[in-house]
Structure formats: structure tokens, C-alpha cells
């Protein structure tokens, strides 16, 4: 199998990467095309040229072939993994009707037509009326239908970015069940479009015929067309295999195949996920997302502005490190690790609650971020370490919620995402969780997860389980330091766990007085 390679196309928020893996999970070649930043015609909007995504995919693939001696004929299959929640409208000719609305977009639609009385009564009884209205107001479907009715009238297919790229590659409107993370009429328990009587069809102004066919991860959904081959250089006829969304692929790419192994993703959105064959709502009435493993669920807790806060710190307070790094030929992140190591565990009492963006239920829509415990000893170094510690505290709380709801104890950690490249972040994660923290053996874990789907789908490994075990392995493992673990455990239990409860009424007062964040 030495001459068999798997092509993963990973369309993230900031770049598109074309990645060639062998069947043992080794990264053999890589290319990367940075994307233009999203644009905002109005405050809070975040849109991107949809054809720009496709052009970046084509450019990344062409760059890949120029960078490697591996023959294109050795590529046995292709799969796409993308950012979640970014949507594209196509007309009957497959042409893009408007810019893609990205997952970062914050627009909301106004009050919607009431649901049927029986649904309203059921939701009121379950005390989730606010959650349902949040779903309806956040749904891009409803905004486009209300504010751009002429666009909506021309919309033949309404696709996630994954479905759009699949269409461009194979000419079919097909997407993976593992990619369906958005405001869509999707049945998260059965991994199919919602039944005809489901409330989501009333809540969203979309028809079933506007949505793509859904298939399980690992399904061959088509073959690379002549047009796609001309654009990308991928040989015509190469099988296109369904993968899953980037976070779901990241989880299996890090080797988190069983519920006792948690995957922490230190990316723009920081998450903790476990893979389970059992349907578990970590937050009641908020369903688990589909996993990259067919029929399985990803029990996820997310901190929306996770490692975005690291970039925020770098832009607001990190100019010295950026300049010093440039002078020494080092990345700013390496300089920031030095900041962390200048400060003792616990940041001398400086504590961060990382709710820089509000949530739906946990935290609620009134939530804000907070940093407490300032004294005259504190510097930028303490602030930076407190950010990393606060994110780890929040994810530890997520781990404990997952354990309570699932009944399965987490005993191992796999760390992925940009933050996993920081030794300081890895060590404090091991210390705060009190568990060994293993860095994934390759950085490109989302792409590796998509490659696993190809290998399983084409029979290069017998199934997802054997493919994941053959293609993933722990990288460097960081063991908890007992003295640090003791400090962190006390700060977590005696301070962090009480912060949100104590501050929540004041957050609500701030929202009432200032109108920010906007209330439901």
C-alpha cells in the first residue's frame, strides 16, 4: 500500500489546505492558500465570496502537485472537511446567488410567525421557549427569506460549504451527515433530515427539495468531474468520499474514538469532545453534533471565543513579543510561551472566565468575560497565562458536564488545534485536568480525520475503527506536575466554579443598562 495516498481538502476559516496522507496516517505533502478575510457590509455581518472558496481549493490542489513528486495517479480518493455553519445559495444552474454567510456572522432576524399552539405549549412546558426563539432568530434561512426574498425565490439549493464544495467536485448535491452543524431542519438523533411533522419545518422557511441528499461518512458520493479535474488537477474519475465537519474530523484525527478519550481543540473556538455511540445531551435540549464516525455522536462543549483570545491578546498587548520575534527570527507564539513560563501556576491569583461571547443556555445570553484578582504584582505575563488557564478551566468544567451526563469517566486527553503547538499550554492543560495530555502526532488533525473516512470508505482499512487505530497515535505526552495540579484544583473548585454564578446577575444588569449583548 506504499503507493496509495489520500487527498484531504480542509477549508477552514483562514485558509484552505490540500493534504496528502498515506494509509498509515503520515502527512506526505501539504499546500496552503490563505483566504481573504470575511467582509462586513453591516456591523456584525461576516460574509465571504463563495466562489472564492472554490478558487482557493483549486489553487491549493494545483500548488500541491507542484510541491511533491507523488504522482496524481497514486491518489485513491478525495474528501472534503470544512468549517461549520457557513451557508451558500445556488440557483438551478448551480451558480452562486449571494455571498456565503459564514459561521462568524451575528445578524438576527426579527420576531417570527408563531409556531403551532401544540409546539408552543410543549416548549413552554419544557422551559425552552427562549432556546427555540434563539434558533429561529439566528437562522440564516429566515434572514435571507425575510430580507432578500428575490434571492430566496431563486434559490434552488441551500447548502453548507461542505455540500457546495462536494457539488463543485462531483456535480451532485450530496453532503455528509457528519457535516450538518447549522440552523437546519436536521434530526440530530437519527442523522437525517427532520420528519415531515418536526417543528423545525415550521421554524425555518425552507423546503425539503432545497436541501442536499445526505449520506453517512465514508460513503462514496461521486467522482471528480472533468471540469473539477481541469480546475484542481485531481484526476477525473477519482472517488469523492463523504467525511465530516472540521471539528468532527479533528476528533477522530486525534484518535478520540472512544468515550473515555476526550479531544480538546485549541482553535478559534475551543472545544472538548468525546465520541459516543449513545445519544447524550450534555446541555438538556441541546443535541450532540454528528461525529465523523458513522452513526456516532460528538458530545461537545465549546468556548466560542476560545483561542481567538490569544490573537486578541497578541493584537492588543503583544507588540513587544511580535517585534522581538521578528528580530530573532522566531514566531510570536514562541515568545508568548516565554511569557507563560515567567509566571507561576495560578498566575498569582489572577483568574479569567472566558465568556467573551454569550451562549444559549450554558452560559446564557447575558454572559460576558471577566478577569478577577488583580494586584500590583500582575503584568502582561500574568494576563496571558490567566487566559490560557481560564480556557482550560472552562474546558475542564465541560469535561465534568460530559461525564455527569454520559456516565463515562474521561481518562485520557488528546489536544489538537493551533494552541496544541504551545508546550506551555499543553503542560498547564495536563496540570489543570490532572490527566496526561497527548499532542496529536500530526498538526493537521482535521485533514487526517477526512483521510480516515477515505480509507474506511474505500476499504483500504476494514472500517473506521481499524482505520483510526492504524492512522493515529499520540505524539508528545505531558504528565501532570503534582504541585501544580494541587494549586489548580483548589483554584478551580473554590474560585472558578463560582465565578459565573456570582457574576451572572451583574452581567444581566450590564445588559439591561447598556443593551449589550442584545437580549432575546
- At residue 1, the pLDDT reads 53
The arithmetic mean of pLDDT across residues 338-346, rounded, is 90
* Secondary structure of 122-157 in HEC code, one letter for each residue: HHHHCCCHHHHHHHHHHCHHHHHHHHCHHHHHHCCE
Nearest one of 509, 437, 425 to 479, comparing CA atoms: 437
Task: Write the Ramachandran bin of 30: left for phi over 0, alpha for psi from -120 to 50, otherwise beta.
Answer: beta
User: Do the domains spanning 5-243 and 260-514 agree at the CATH topology level?
Assistant: yes
Between 125 and 215, where is the model more confident?
215
Q: Could you tell me the CATH superfamily of domain 260-514?
A: ATPase, nucleotide binding domain (3.30.420.40)
Per-residue pLDDT reduced to its tens digit, 34-90: 998 889 889 889 999 999 999 999 999 999 999 999 999 999 999 999 999 999 999
Nearest one of 102, 97, 99, 106 to 85, comparing CA atoms: 102
List strand residue ranges (DSSP E) for 325-388, in order.
351-353, 370-372
- At residue 218, the pLDDT reads 98
> What is d(CA 364, CA 286) in angstroms, rounded to the nearest whole number?
13
CA distances from 447 to 358, 386, 472, 482 (A): 30, 31, 12, 35
Residue 519 has pLDDT above 60, yes or no: no
Q: Could you tell me the CATH superfamily of domain 5-243?
A: ATPase, nucleotide binding domain (3.30.420.40)
3-state secondary structure of 336: helix
Q: Determine contact, residues 511/517, Cβ cutoff 8 Å.
A: yes
Rounded to a whole number of angstroms, the CA Rg of the chain reads 23
- At residue 127, the pLDDT reads 83
Per-residue pLDDT reduced to its tens digit, 459-515: 999 999 999 999 999 999 999 999 999 999 999 999 999 999 999 999 889 988 987
- At residue 122, the pLDDT reads 86
What residues contact residue 469 under an 8 Å CB cut-off, 6+ apart?
257
Average pLDDT score, the chain = 93
User: Which residue ranges make up each domain of the chain?
Assistant: 5-243, 260-514
Q: What is the pTM of this model?
A: 0.92
pLDDT band for position 440 (50/70/90)? Answer: very high
Least confident of 351-355, 427-431, 453-457: 351-355
Amino acid at each position: 500500500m506504499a503507493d496509495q495516498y489520500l487527498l484531504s481538502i480542509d477549508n477552514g476559516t483562514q485558509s484552505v489546505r490540500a493534504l496528502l496522507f498515506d494509509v498509515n496516517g503520515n502527512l506526505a505533502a501539504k499546500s496552503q492558500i490563505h483566504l481573504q478575510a470575511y467582509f462586513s457590509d453591516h456591523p456584525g455581518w461576516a460574509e465571504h465570496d463563495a466562489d472564492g472558496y472554490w478558487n482557493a481549493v483549486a489553487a491549493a490542489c494545483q500548488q500541491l502537485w507542484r510541491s511533491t513528486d507523488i504522482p496524481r495517479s497514486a491518489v485513491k480518493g478525495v474528501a472534503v472537511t470544512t468549517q461549520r455553519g457557513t451557508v451558500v445559495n445556488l440557483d438551478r444552474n448551480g451558480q452562486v446567488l449571494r455571498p456565503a454567510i459564514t459561521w462568524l456572522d451575528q445578524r438576527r432576524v426579527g420576531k417570527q410567525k408563531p409556531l403551532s399552539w401544540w409546539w408552543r405549549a410543549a416548549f413552554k412546558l419544557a422551559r425552552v421557549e427562549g432556546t427555540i426563539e434563539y434558533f429561529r432568530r439566528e437562522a440564516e434561512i429566515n434572514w435571507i427569506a425575510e430580507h432578500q426574498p428575490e434571492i430566496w425565490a431563486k434559490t434552488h439549493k441551500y447548502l453548507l460549504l461542505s455540500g457546495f464544495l462536494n457539488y463543485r467536485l462531483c456535480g451532485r448535491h450530496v453532503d455528509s451527515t457528519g457535516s450538518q452543524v447549522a440552523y437546519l431542519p436536521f434530526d440530530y438523533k437519527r442523522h437525517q433530515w427532520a420528519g415531515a411533522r418536526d417543528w423545525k419545518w415550521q421554524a425555518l422557511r425552507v423546503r425539503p427539495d432545497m436541501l442536499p441528499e445526505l449520506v453517512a461518512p465514508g460513503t462514496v458520493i461521486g467522482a471528480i468531474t472533468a471540469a473539477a479535474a481541469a480546475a484542481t488537477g485531481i484526476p477525473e474519475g477519482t472517488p469523492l468520499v463523504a467525511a465530516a465537519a472540521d471539528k468532527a474530523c479533528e476528533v477522530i484525527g486525534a484518535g478520540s474514538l472512544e468515550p473515555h478519550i476526550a479531544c480538546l481543540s485549541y482553535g478559534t473556538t475551543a472545544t472538548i469532545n468525546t465520541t459516543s455511540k449513545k445519544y447524550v445531551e450534555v446541555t438538556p435540549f441541546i443535541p450532540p453534533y454528528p461525529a465523523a464516525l458513522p452513526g456516532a455522536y460528538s458530545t461537545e462543549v465549546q468556548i466560542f471565543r476560545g483561542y481567538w483570545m490569544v490573537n486578541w491578546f497578541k493584537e492588543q498587548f503583544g507588540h513587544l513579543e511580535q517585534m522581538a520575534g521578528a528580530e530573532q527570527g522566531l514566531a510570536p507564539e514562541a515568545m508568548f510561551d516565554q511569557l507563560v513560563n515567567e509566571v507561576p501556576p495560578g498566575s498569582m491569583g489572577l483568574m479569567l472566565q472566558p465568556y467573551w461571547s454569550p451562549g444559549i443556555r450554558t452560559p446564557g445570553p447575558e454572559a460576558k468575560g471577566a478577569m478577577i484578582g488583580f494586584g500590583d504584582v500582575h503584568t502582561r505575563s500574568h494576563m496571558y497565562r490567566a487566559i490560557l488557564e481560564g480556557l482550560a478551566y472552562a474546558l475542564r468544567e465541560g469535561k465534568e458536564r460530559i461525564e455527569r451526563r454520559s456516565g463515562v469517566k474521561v481518562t485520557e486527553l488528546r489536544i489538537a488545534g493551533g494552541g496544541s503547538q504551545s508546550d506551555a499550554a499543553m503542560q498547564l492543560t495536563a496540570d489543570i485536568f490532572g490527566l496526561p495530555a497527548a499532542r496529536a502526532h500530526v498538526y493537521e488533525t482535521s485533514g487526517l480525520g477526512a483521510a480516515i473516512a477515505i480509507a474506511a470508505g474505500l476499504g483500504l482499512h476494514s472500517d473506521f475503527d481499524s482505520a483510526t487505530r492504524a492512522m493515529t497515535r499520540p505524539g508528545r505526552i505531558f504528565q501532570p506536575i503534582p504541585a501544580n495540579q494541587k494549586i489548580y484544583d483548589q483554584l478551580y473548585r473554590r474560585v472558578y466554579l463560582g465565578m459565573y454564578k456570582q457574576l451572572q446577575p451583574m452581567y444581566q444588569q450590564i445588559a439591561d443598562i447598556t443593551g449589550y449583548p442584545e437580549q432575546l
